[in-house]
Amino acid sequence: MFIVKKNYYLYIENIKALNFDLIKKRSKFSIIYRQQEKKHIIKDIIEFRKKCKKKNIDFYIANNLRLAMKLKADGIYISAYNKRINFCKINKENFKIIGSAHNFKEINIKKKQGCKEIILSRLFKTNYPEKSTFLGITKFNLICIIAKQNFIPLGGIKLNNFGKTKLLGAKSIAILSEIKKKPAIISRLF
């Protein structure tokens, strides 16, 4: 099954976990690197960044503006819990700010932060016990219409419901946990 979207956002927490050989299409992927350990090895991340540039993959750093500038990343990803507004002061050309939100309040904060694209979370039901709510396809499409913005869906997108993403009005999708479990899903994103 082929799912054709304009762009695919892949969340990774370990730069060694991604196999670049699986990515055949250029300019269709964006990687959001969420460093979980406090100490990250800059040399390894720089090497990873070079591989991304070679494959023409956009590379974003989550919640760390200094690291994003140091690595000359394509932009920064601001997670939903990050409420600081000082990101809108960035005047760097070709530096994109993307963020994530779960509700209208967070959507408004992301707009104030200067986010060009907003990832709207929990499209489908997830396995997280503390996160039982989800939007569904109809509610997601309605939020896009009401907010007059094209959001990127995230959450609960798995192999068994992957085909349903065709029903979304979104031009892009974001994937997190399925990349960790089944990295070969990347080959189905065309």
- pLDDT on residue 1: 45
Condensed to tens digits (0 to 9), the pLDDT of residues 32-87 reads 998 776 666 888 889 989 988 988 999 999 998 888 888 889 999 999 998 887 76
- pLDDT on residue 190: 44
In a domain, 146, yes or no: yes
Q: What is the mean pLDDT of residues 77-101?
A: 83
Radius of gyration for the alpha carbons in the chain, expressed in angstroms and rounded? 16
What's the pLDDT band for 98 if we cut at 50, 70, 90? very high
Average pLDDT of the residues of the chain = 80
In a domain, 140, yes or no: yes
Identify the domain containing residue 98 by its residue range. Answer: 7-188
In a domain, 114, yes or no: yes
Strand partners, 60: 32, 75
- Buried b vs exposed e over 112-133: b needs ≥16 C-beta within 10 Å? ebbbebbbbbbbbebeeeeeee
Condensed to tens digits (0 to 9), the pLDDT of residues 138-180 reads 888 888 888 888 888 887 777 777 777 778 878 888 877 665 5
- pLDDT on residue 109: 92
As for how many domains the chain has, the answer is: 1
In a domain, 1, yes or no: no
- pLDDT on residue 188: 54
